[in-house]
Structure 1
Amino acid sequence: MPCPSATLTVWASAWLAGAAAPDDVLDALAPWGQLHEVHAADDTTAEAASLPTLASRPTTLTFLFAAIRRSAPRTPARLVLPAPGDVRGLPGPGVFSREATAAGEGVLFPEVALPTGGLGIVPTPVVDGVLRWTVYPVPDPGPVPEYVAVSQAERDLREQVRQSASVLTSLGVARHRPGVREEIAAALRARPESRWPDGMPGQPLRVLQQADEVSAILAAALLDDPGGALSASAASARREALRPLETAVRVARRAAVAEAVRVLAPA
């Protein structure tokens, strides 16, 4: 499903470039949680960014934006969507890379004016309606991430959908769990509303919407079957068969967000 890190990456970059107001960023993030908590991961980062540690009372997104403004006055953000075995875009080994991989997402500000180096931010649900944003130090931003044209990412995503359609049919997902189409439709209706800045380019917006739809299909396809309709080996085979589609979704989202940032916050 859509990820809050994509929303923060696009909106924070637009805001830092003067293309959005702080209140607009807050409004865009509001659907992701009734309450947003902000912490620094360690004492050094807390002191450098003027944020509370995890052991202290959390602060709000307003103070996170103030820390970003002070430390990264015009640096565009970078979306990372790592997964085990796919760490493209991460800055290298470290606590941010580890936590972003566990969460499946994060936002990187690779060039900031702090003694800790860059900043990495990872959102994690705490309880229902509460989203915690933890700020990590990133001493080394790592190599420049690979460039994938959004048009190429869109074609690859469509091709993987076509290839996976036969896999889904052969694995009998709908046959093993009646009502799966309704589950997918309900998941799409229940997703948080994605809001984007004025001037959001059309192709990245279309690709992000396609990625959301494919993610809902994947979630339904990978859900455990009630009653154990599939054997453990069949379930494992299903996951392996759909792994390329999961990768294509991540690549498409990264490419779409990177292109949106390029347009909204040109260097």
Structure 2
Amino acid sequence: MPESLTAARHRAAGRPTTALDDLAASATGSLAVVGRRSAVAAASSGLVVSMLAAPASAAQPTDAGAAALPTVDTSALTASARAVLDTAPAVTVAADATWTFDVPAVTVIADPPPPPAPVRTVAAASRSQARAAVPTEAAPAAEAETRGAPAPASANGNAIVEIASRYVGVPYVWGGTTPNGFDCSGYTAYVYAQVGITLPRTSSAQRSAGTVVSRADAQPGDLIWTPGHISVYAGGNLQVDAPVPGRTIQIREIWQSNPTFLRFS
């Protein structure tokens, strides 16, 4: 095979290009077109128009084709970016840097004690409420009756007088047996029922059921009987009774001339 005497030809290595080179080439192409249009306008109007040429510091063309085109100062295009970098320099931190922050002191203050509860004033029970109330003192006497061992007359008597006094002011009503109205025997039977002692309905029947005691031995809570009327002995010379129609239950002196005192157990 014959040997070729012609040396191989290789393409010369080109200068490496960047994105800014592509931008500069595009800009110079546009400037060339503007320059030609400005020259035509100057020739037609007689005015001297300065060509938009590259700055004096621009690189000189290296061949005849590039001499006809102005160059672009890339430093001007990147000036704004450089200004940003200069004003916001990168911050570096050492690898062994430590961070600290201040913790404010916290003081715990206990809540103040709650205000005292308002004092409620309880009004005195009305008379109608007093009439319907059932005394607590009745329980011991009723329990004693159930066991068959009656309480002493003085213990029962104090409870009876206290209960009888609650209904002062209730009107007299013929045949009445409730706090809405009492007659004399209905009143005594109702009061005794509160301590667990059942009395007959009429005053004459109550006279027959009770044990007669002398006035000297009479104790509060015993009954005082006279024909047609009966009341509760309150001690001393006092009694509690439902007198006559038109009147109310009251505490008053014993007015009967020869009363009979009765005890129930």
For the aligned pair, the TM-score class normalised by the smaller chain equals: under 0.3
Higher relative contact order (CA 8 A, sep 6+): 1
Length-normalised TM-score, structure 2:
0.19
Instruction: Report which of the two structures shows the higher radius of gyration computed on alpha carbons.
Output: 2
Length-normalised TM-score, structure 1:
0.19
Q: Flag the structure with higher helix content.
A: 1
